[in-house]
Amino acid sequence: MTKILDLNQMLENFYHDNIQKGKSFVAHHFMSSGLSQSTAYRKIKQLEKGSLKRKSGSGRIPTVATKKNIKKITKYFKNKDGVSQRNAAKQFKCSQGYISKIISKKTNLKCFKKMKRPFRSTQQIKDIRPKCRKLYDLYKNQDFIMDDESYFTLSHSTLAGNDIYYAPKRCESEDGVRFKTVKKYEQKLLVSICICPKNISKIYIHQSKQAINAETYIKILRQTLIPLLNENYKNNQGCIFWPDKAQAHYAKSVLEFLKKRKVKFVTYSQNPSNLPEARPIENFWGDLKRLVYANNWKAKDLIELEARIKQCVSKMNTNQYLKQIQNLPSKLNKIAKYGL
């Protein structure tokens, strides 16, 4: 807009200084400035009547983006889900693009993607703040150590980008592209890892046909938690182990295993249920699966899948997870004060 105003001012000054030389002379100068012949003569006609400056109040009168309609559009979208710009465009008799323009330039509204949050019972919601407060008060000067496990199948067609395909017609694509084959008991690997502010353990991979039990979990702890403690914490001092609140993690044999090795851990009663927001290790699995199944990669067998997982883990930048768990006490304090 500033460039147009500057050009108009320059043209107007030249016109007043050189109109005595004739319209043709002025028009040729205007055209040398980048205007077409018709525009040049239209500008001269405007200058004969007065000025190139835009009169206040001139221009098209708004019919959609009136103050009243902007308020209506703001009310239509504000703090609501399931609303559509296309439906709003039909209601206000304009294009979807114009509704989008009004929202972005005439209102303070922004579009946000819904964040995933697990379903929590009333009691679980009630327990979150006091349990986070207790964890913070008891262990704010300790390093939190977390472990978690996730399952990996031969393919992952539910991952974003792997669940769609493009074709002129549905029937033209091969079956491997068109269909997601589902087995009742699909082969899968159980992958487990342990993380603390100082380091990440080696991954433990186990072929699994059923849910994790106490015996399997003790094997995992031997391969992940115990080596991590031995390498980073002398006599297990200055740290607290915070397991997930699965039943197998608090089985009698597991607790005996931890006590025998003098591993301090968050008790079952202290552990808040269903709180992935306070467990940064949960972010690790999403990032790893995106790498493993990138470009709709599929494994032929579990051996190939295991090799792929190890390769992807070696490429990951783990500093972000170490930093997240290092900041966990302040995160717990924030949840205790303000909730989720």
Q: In the predicted model, what is the mean pLDDT of the chain? A: 85
DSSP per position, 125-154: HHHHHHHHHHHHHHHTTSEEEEEEEEEEES
Residues 6 or more apart whose CB falls under 8 angstroms from that of 153 comprise: 186, 187, 188
Looking at per-residue pLDDT, the higher value among 307 and 117 belongs to 307
pLDDT of residue 59: 63
pLDDT of residue 26: 83
Strand 239-242 versus strand 143-153 pairing type: parallel
pLDDT of residue 173: 64
Residues 6 or more apart whose CB falls under 8 angstroms from that of 267 comprise: none
pLDDT of residue 308: 92
pLDDT tens digit string along 156-202?
655 555 556 556 666 666 665 565 665 656 788 899 999 999 999 99
Per-residue confidence at 241, pLDDT binned at 50, 70, 90? very high
pLDDT tens digit string along 93-126?
888 998 999 999 999 998 888 877 788 888 888 9
Q: What Å distances lie between residue 85 and 7, 34, 94, CA to CA?
A: 38, 39, 10
pLDDT of residue 9: 80
Q: What Å distances lie between residue 235 and 20, 228, 230, CA to CA?
A: 98, 12, 8
Per-residue confidence at 3, pLDDT binned at 50, 70, 90? low
Give the C-alpha separation, 187 to 210, whole Å.
10
Query: Which strands form 188-195's sheet, in the order they lie side by side?
Result: 204-207, 188-195, 143-153, 239-242
Q: Which of 31-40, 47-56, 92-101 has the lowest mean pLDDT?
A: 47-56
CATH architecture of 126-338: 2-Layer Sandwich (3.30)
Per-residue confidence at 57, pLDDT binned at 50, 70, 90? low
Picking from 85, 180, 154, the residue whose alpha carbon sits closest to that of residue 304 is 154
Give the C-alpha separation, 250 to 247, whole Å.
5
pLDDT of residue 323: 92
Per-residue confidence at 53, pLDDT binned at 50, 70, 90? confident
Residue spans of beta strands (DSSP E) within 166-275: 188-195, 204-207, 239-242
What 3-state class would DSSP assign to 62?
coil
Strand partners, 146: 195, 242
Per-residue confidence at 137, pLDDT binned at 50, 70, 90? very high
298 token code pair? 């599929």
Host H or E run for residue 325: helix 319-326
Cβ 48 vs Cβ 19: under 8 Å: no
**Share of residues in the chain with pLDDT > 70 (%):** 86
Cβ 204 vs Cβ 310: under 8 Å: no
